[in-house]
A = this chain, B = another copy of it.
Amino acid sequence: MNKASRLFCPALVTPKNAVVKQTEQLSRSQKLLTELGLVKSGSNGTYQIMPMAQRSVDKMIDLVQRNMLLAGGQKITLPILTPTNLWKKTGRLDGDISEFYMVRDRSGKQFLMSPTHEEAVTAMLATTSPISYRQLPLRLYQIGPKFRDELKTRFGLMRAKEFLMKDMYSFDVSEETARETYSIVSAAYDRLFKQLEVPFVKVNAATGMMGGSVSHEYHYISPVGEDTLLQCSSCGFAGNSEVLDVKPGSPVSCPSCKGSDLKEVRGVEVAHTFLLGDKYSKPLGATFLNTSGKPQSLVMGCYGIGISRVIAAALEVLSSEQELHWPRLLAPYDVCLIGPKQGSKEQPAAEVIENELLLQVGELCGQQELLHDDRKELTIGKRLLEAKRLGHPLIIVVGAKAAHQGSPKLEVHLSKGEKLELDINEALKLIADYSQHKESLLKGIFPQDTQERISDSVGHQL
């Protein structure tokens, strides 16, 4: 069990009438994250993740790993420092390099603080002893920090200079099997985004600097998004305006249902998949031995998920101006239990119920999923307000009514303002159901309506 009195959650207290120098554009969820002490601004577009937000990050990592395992992924770690000479070979230093952090070691050798690892992983395969076609396909992934010296950092974690990514690289014998790999990994992405229960759209994408032939982006729709998408309000179809190649201002009818015109919406790109072909394997010499024993270029794919960005963007979509709302699987805690105020009339009787609940709730949802707001020097009202702003999915108040002899009642607050008055067994049932729902989600079992709602947008792609 976690105690609120011990939790490091350095809330930003702005003195009244203070002139706050706003150096950066913050979206509403990022403002809440900062004010509530879940994230602190480091220097120039870097962020410090505080304990409560770290729990969410670790849950997201766990969820990603489960899905990577199902997609046949093998976890590795590549160094953050990649020699720039590898990037010279693939031509990726020929364009605009102003977003790259570059550093020299004491011998003068130059490195990139890697924004991505196509070169590094391909060069690694090029220098292993020859891989046989029998060992393919191969799907390697890692989870780690990436770096991009953005001209303009915005919206906190959503576009930071240092961010956490999951990147997977796949290696196949042919374009055909690479497409199979692409479907398998894409299915894992689809499942992951369904598990997060945040509406998303998947669109055909331009391949841009990554090169390659097939590419999709996963977006959360939000006014703070930096990409322009065109979406059909009838059938849910969505496309990237770059790819659809439409003139600004001119109406375009939906290519899927033909029923209505596409409307511009803003999207936050949270994941991206690419079929790369031999764009990297050829210049870097990464080959396998084919059935005739001859070396042949590996056919590659790459697949990224912005771990910190998914959390930030999901919060932006779900939250209100006043309250954070978390995807169920990413909430820092499932349950927040608020005990009676110190010195109140009801304290002794309510504390008996409180202690009983601490044990039973901890058993139902797991000790680590229970946050006990034990700051009894604070009123219940003040603690409840904070708990709601933090967006705990289930807030249980053990207050005056819990002291009723014979029929003690608990006040249970669900996110989005719903409030229930329950007896102990009803409250425990609610928690058990909640944990059960989480378990189902983790297993990839979705309620009927989620499946339909989401397949609507996933189904309709360019």
Contact = CB atoms under 8 A, between A and B. Distances in A.
Interface in A134-176: 134-135, 138, 140, 144-145, 147, 149, 151, 161-162, 164
Given A12-B129, A149-B105, A51 B75 contact: yes
Contact of A101 (B83, B105, B120): B105
A81 B40 contact: no
A105 B145 contact: no
Interface string A42-76: 11101111110011011000000000000010111
A1 B318 CA distance: 38
Contact of A48 (B7, B12, B79, B135): B79
A390 interface: no
Contact of A129 (B11, B101, B111, B138): B11
Interface string A97-137: 01001110111010101000000100011011101001100
Contact of A113 (B40, B47, B113): B113
Nearest to A72: B6
Contacts of A145: 80, 144-145
A13 interface: yes
A244 to B, nearest CB: 32
Number of copies: 2
A149 B54 CA distance: 29
A441 to B, nearest CB: 21
Contacts of A144: 145
A251 interface: no
B161 A81 contact: yes
A381 interface: no
A78 interface: yes
Nearest to A107: B44
B78 A7 contact: no
Nearest to A58: B75
Contacts of A74: 6-8, 51, 54
A162 B42 contact: no
Residue of A11, A50, A98 with most chain B CB atoms under a 10 A cut-off: A50
A292 interface: no
Contact of A162 (B13, B80, B131, B140): B80
Contact of A8 (B37, B42, B140): B140
A462 B83 CA distance: 45
A77 interface: yes
A306 to B, nearest CB: 15
Most B Cβ at <10 Å: residue of A43, A82, A124, A144: A43
Interface residues of A, number: 63
Contacts of A134: 5
A159 to B, nearest CB: 15
A106 B98 CA distance: 7
A10 interface: yes
Contacts of A129: 10-13
Contact of A46 (B40, B50, B81, B164): B81
Nearest to A57: B77
B79 A43 contact: yes
A106 B76 contact: no
A52 to B, nearest CB: 9
B79 A138 contact: no
B8 A79 contact: no
Contacts of A81: 42-43, 46, 101, 147, 161-162
A124 B12 CA distance: 12
A290 to B, nearest CB: 18
A76 B55 CA distance: 9
Given A77-B48, A79-B43, A113 B103 contact: yes
Contacts of A6: 72, 74, 135
9 contacts: A10-B125, A11-B129, A42-B81, A43-B79, A48-B79, A51-B76, A81-B147, A98-B106, A106-B149
Question: Which 3 A-B pairs rank lowest in CB-CB distance, beginning with the nearest?
Answer: A10-B128, A46-B79, A51-B74
Given A46-B81, A49-B77, A113-B113, 11 more contacts: A8-B140, A10-B129, A37-B128, A47-B79, A48-B120, A51-B140, A77-B164, A79-B162, A80-B145, A106-B151, A144-B145
